[in-house]
Structure 1
Amino acid sequence: MAALRVVVLSGTGRALLCMPKTIKAPRSHQGCTLGDGGPITDKQASMSFASLPRSKKVALTAFGVLTTGATGLALMLQQSVKASDLELHPPNFPWTHNGMLSSLDHSSIRRGYQVYKQVCAACHSMEYLAFRNLVGVSHTESEVKALAEEIEVVDGPDESGEMFTRPGKLSDYFPKPYPNPEAARAANGGALPPDLSYIVNARHGGEDYVFSLLTGYCEPPAGVEVREGLYYNPYFPGQSIGMAPPIYNEVLEFEDGTPATMSQVAKDVCTFLRWAAEPEHDQRKRMGLKLLMGSAILIPLVYYMKRHRWSVLKSRKIAYRPPK
Structure 2
Amino acid sequence: MNKLVTSLVSLAFLAGMGVASAVAQENHAAAPAAEHAETPHFPIHHPKETDWSFAGPFGHYDKGQLQRGLKVYTEVCSACHSMRLVSFRTLEDLGYSEAQVKAFAANYKVQDGPNDEGEMFERTAVPSDHFPSPFPNTQAAAAANNGAAPPDMSLIAKARGVTRGFPQFIFDIFTQYQEGGPDYIHSLLTGYQQPPAGVEVAPGTHYNPYFASAAALAMAPPLSADQVTYDDGAPQTVDQYAKDISAFLMWAAEPHLEERKRTGFMVMIFLVIFTGLIYLTKKSVYASKEH
Global fold match (TM > 0.5): yes
Aligned pairs for 1:249-264 (under 5 A) are 249-264=225-240
Residue 251 of structure 2 is matched in structure 1 by 275
Residue 137 of structure 1 is matched in structure 2 by 94
Kindly provide the amino acid, as one letter, of the partner of residue 89 in structure 1: H
Aligned pairs for 1:264-303 (under 5 A) are 264-303=240-279
Q: Partners in 2 of 1:179 and 1:82 — Cα distance? A: 42
Deviations 1:200-256 (A, max 9, x none): 221223111111110011111112222221111111122111001001111110132
Is the 8 Å Cα contact of residues 247 and 262 (structure 1) preserved in structure 2?
Answer: yes
Q: Partners in 2 of 1:291 and 1:277 — Cα distance? A: 23
Q: Partners in 2 of 1:283 and 1:115 — Cα distance? A: 26
Structure 1 unmatched runs, 5+: 1-28, 30-76, 318-324
* Structural RMSD (CA): 2.5
Q: Partners in 2 of 1:106 and 1:78 — Cα distance? A: 51
User: Which structure would you say has the larger Rg?
Assistant: 1
Choose 102-111 or 242-251, whichever is displaced more. Answer: 102-111
Scaled by the length of structure 1, the TM-score of the pair is 0.68
Q: CA deviation at 1:316?
A: 4.2
Scaled by the length of structure 2, the TM-score of the pair is 0.75
Is the 8 Å Cα contact of residues 109 and 138 (structure 1) preserved in structure 2?
Answer: no
Is the 8 Å Cα contact of residues 57 and 265 (structure 2) preserved in structure 1?
Answer: no
Q: CA deviation at 1:83?
A: 4.8
Q: Partners in 2 of 1:81 and 1:144 — Cα distance? A: 53
Kindly provide the amino acid, as one letter, of the partner of residue 187 in structure 1: A
Choose 98-107 or 301-310, whichever is displaced more. Answer: 301-310
Is the 8 Å Cα contact of residues 112 and 123 (structure 2) preserved in structure 1?
Answer: yes
Shift in alpha-carbon separation, 1:196–1:83, aligned structure 2, 3 A: same
Residue 84 of structure 1 is matched in structure 2 by 40
Aligned pairs for 1:52-201 (under 5 A) are 82-85=38-41, 87-201=44-158
Choose 153-162 or 261-270, whichever is displaced more. Answer: 153-162
Is the 8 Å Cα contact of residues 145 and 169 (structure 1) preserved in structure 2?
Answer: yes
Kindly provide the amino acid, as one letter, of the partner of residue 307 in structure 1: K
RCO higher in structure (CA 8 A, sep ≥6) = 2
Q: Partners in 2 of 1:91 and 1:193 — Cα distance? A: 24
Q: % of aligned pairs identical?
A: 43
Residue 6 of structure 1 is matched in structure 2 by none
Kindly provide the amino acid, as one letter, of the partner of residue 135 in structure 1: E
Q: CA deviation at 1:166?
A: 2.2
Q: CA deviation at 1:92?
A: 2.0
Deviations 1:65-101 (A, max 9, x none): xxxxxxxxxxxx9888635326221122222221121
Shift in alpha-carbon separation, 1:245–1:124, aligned structure 2, 3 A: same
Deviations 1:121-180 (A, max 9, x none): 000111111112212334222211111111122222344544443221111010101111
Is the 8 Å Cα contact of residues 215 and 262 (structure 1) preserved in structure 2?
Answer: yes
Q: CA deviation at 1:263?
A: 0.8
Shift in alpha-carbon separation, 1:298–1:181, aligned structure 2, 3 A: same
Q: Partners in 1 of 2:275 and 2:40 — Cα distance? A: 54
